[in-house]
Amino acid sequence: MSEQIKTDICVIGAGSGGLTVAAAAAAFGEDVVLLEKGQMGGDCLNTGCVPSKALIAAAHHAENMRQANLFGISSVEPRVDFQAVHDHVHSVIGAIAPNDSVERFEGLGVRVIQQAGHFTDKRTVATADGQYEIKARSFVIATGSSAAVPPVEGIERIPYFTNETIFSLTKRPRHLVIIGGGPIGVELAQAHRRLGAEVTILEAYGILSREDPELSSVVIDQLKREGITLHEGVTIDRIEPAEDKDATPYGATLHFSHTLDGGVAGDADFVEATHVLVATGRRANVSDLGLEAAGVSYSERGIAVKPTMKTSNRRVYAIGDVAGGMQFTHVAGYHAGLVVRNILFKLGAKENTHIVPRVTFTAPELAHVGYSEAEARQKFRQVRILRWPFGENDRAQAERETAGFIKIITNKKGVVLGASVVGKNAGEIINMWALIVSQKMNIKAITGYVSPYPTLSEVGRRAAISAYADLPSKPGIRKIISFLKFLG
């Protein structure tokens, strides 16, 4: 017989979003049951943001050693101990893991059941082992996503890596070939290149194609300077395992063709890899949840949700990657906050994707929030574009980090519609602009605050001040000044 559990909230999935809902609801005195079939902390902690940023940090230090001569210090080629890099990455995971542990959440009053769960009807979830049946007033599905693997001929014959497995490597890849030139692909490409691997990216469309090309070109140029080989607009025709599997156990030959404008196949080519990383996006984890029994509408893109994150079953919410929208850890946390407000306080809080920033953690970093220039020009009749280069920033000059600029988009009244930054610490700089966009602030407000000197964030204030650069030359302004001078 299954144990019957009645609770206020049942959360399925202990990633970033699920943990936030569970902790917040428990803090308000709600009875919470949390189901997780895998590792606590989900993708972000174990195979995503945390290990990738730890790897990027190691790569950053290696590159600093190569560039030391810029500061009057002898440059050296770093000796990379990839086992030690692996250990560093996993020690960072280990340091953060207690915050997401079963013990911590049980201490917060959450009942944690380490089993998969599936709906048996609209108000009941059963565990995979049949030990528990959970009835709740509200359910939150936070099962995340998994790496999507493209249907390429022969890919099933090679031991390819995804972001879920690449951080297990203890030996440096000799030649890492990455399928996919989105944020995950380029971040891991640059990190491995800086750690001494040869790296090639194969991309069906364009590298960082989602981003403003004016900004992404700065990143792409840097990738090329560092020796990463980029193939854009290609179709992978087939993949063959390496002939000598003993010498290269992860090796493969990837045959691809260049696709020209109009979809005409161009020259065929191939590349030999010692390791292959698939970074072609992610798919929502919607299988084996019993969503049909729950009356929850979904597709392969994810669970269909309203702006309140509620599904077609009024008792069930879906958050994070499984909801089929923007796939970022901070979005899952944002969704969690909406759901807590809606379940506990009935506030009807709604998602606003316009205020959500994103960052690609390459060097230089690329960050964005709000409307892009192209989107703003399409939606609004009149927009104004303000820019300021890192090369005109004293801190950037001092640190030899002058590549990049900020771009700010306003409407004709000066309300900030969006902002993009490419350059060092762009991910930190975009924070203030995310607040500005979310509060619909006017560019005039940005000229009135005092920025500490010297900081990289000054690029934003200088761009804002440039909105008024033509004032001294306006005849009307000069007349006012002359009149006031006459008054003494």
**What is d(CA 329, CA 372) in angstroms, rounded to the nearest whole number?**
22
CB 401 within 8 A of CB 364: yes
Q: What angle do CA 38, 40, 44 make, to 5 degrees?
A: 100
**3 state SS of 41:** coil
Residue-range domain boundaries for the chain: 3-146+283-353, 155-278, 364-472
What is the model's pLDDT at position 78?
Answer: 97
CB 297 within 8 A of CB 303: yes
What is the model's pLDDT at position 427?
Answer: 98
What is the model's pLDDT at position 8?
Answer: 98
Amino acid, single-letter form, for residue 278: V
**What is d(CA 303, CA 42) in angstroms, rounded to the nearest whole number?**
18
Cα distance between the two ends of the chain: 93
321 is in an annotated binding site: yes
155-278, CATH topology level: FAD/NAD(P)-binding domain (3.50.50)
Q: Name 255's Cβ contacts closer than 8 Å, sequence gap at least 6.
A: 236, 237, 238, 239, 240, 268, 269, 270
CB 227 within 8 A of CB 202: no
Q: Where on the phi/psi map is residue 319: left (φ > 0), alpha (ψ -120 to 50), or beta?
A: beta
391 is in an annotated binding site: no
182 is in an annotated binding site: yes
**What is d(CA 276, CA 178) in angstroms, rounded to the nearest whole number?**
6
47 is in an annotated binding site: no
Q: DSSP for 316-338, please give it.
A: EEE-GGGGTS---HHHHHHHHHH
130 is in an annotated binding site: no
pTM: predicted TM-score of the whole model, two decimal places: 0.94
**3 state SS of 10:** strand
Q: DSSP for 153-180, please give it.
A: TTGGGS--B-TTTGGG--S--SEEEEE-
295 is in an annotated binding site: no
Q: Name 458's Cβ contacts closer than 8 Å, sequence gap at least 6.
A: 393, 394, 395, 451
Q: In the chain, what is the greatest distance between 2 CA atoms, to the nearest angstrom?
A: 94
203 is in an annotated binding site: yes
What is the model's pLDDT at position 260?
Answer: 61
What is the model's pLDDT at position 476?
Answer: 78
**What is d(CA 168, CA 407) in angstroms, rounded to the nearest whole number?**
38
Q: Alpha-carbon torsion 150, 42, 189, 362, what sign? A: positive
Instruction: Give me the CATH code for the 3-146+283-353 domain, please.
Output: 3.50.50.60
Distances (CA, A) of 350 to 339, 344, 370: 9, 14, 17
**What is d(CA 334, CA 236) in angstroms, rounded to the nearest whole number?**
37
The superfamily (CATH) of domain 364-472 is FAD/NAD-linked reductase, C-terminal dimerisation domain (3.30.390.30)
**What is d(CA 468, CA 279) in angstroms, rounded to the nearest whole number?**
44
Give the CA radius of gyration of the chain. Answer: 25
257 is in an annotated binding site: no
Amino acid, single-letter form, for residue 456: L
CB 383 within 8 A of CB 369: no
51 is in an annotated binding site: no
**What is d(CA 377, CA 375) in angstroms, rounded to the nearest whole number?**
6
Could you check whether 3-146+283-353 and 364-472 share the same CATH topology? no
- Alpha helices of 68-142 — where are they, by DSSP H? 82-96, 102-107
183 is in an annotated binding site: yes
| Average pLDDT of adjacent 10-residue blocks, the chain of 488 residues | 94 98 98 97 95 98 98 98 98 97 98 98 96 98 97 96 96 98 98 98 97 98 98 96 84 90 66 97 96 97 98 98 96 98 97 98 98 96 96 98 98 97 98 98 95 96 91 75 73
**54 closest CA partner among 12, 94, 19, 106:** 94
Q: Where are the beta strands (DSSP E) in 334-401?
A: 358-360, 365-370, 383-389
32-35 and 110-113: which strand pairing? Answer: parallel
Q: Alpha-carbon torsion 193, 162, 93, 184, what sign? A: positive
181 is in an annotated binding site: yes
117 is in an annotated binding site: yes
**3 state SS of 429:** helix
**What is d(CA 220, CA 211) in angstroms, rounded to the nearest whole number?**
12
What is the model's pLDDT at position 389?
Answer: 98
**What is d(CA 390, CA 446) in angstroms, rounded to the nearest whole number?**
18
333 is in an annotated binding site: no
CB 122 within 8 A of CB 314: no
> H or E stretch including 58?
helix 49-66
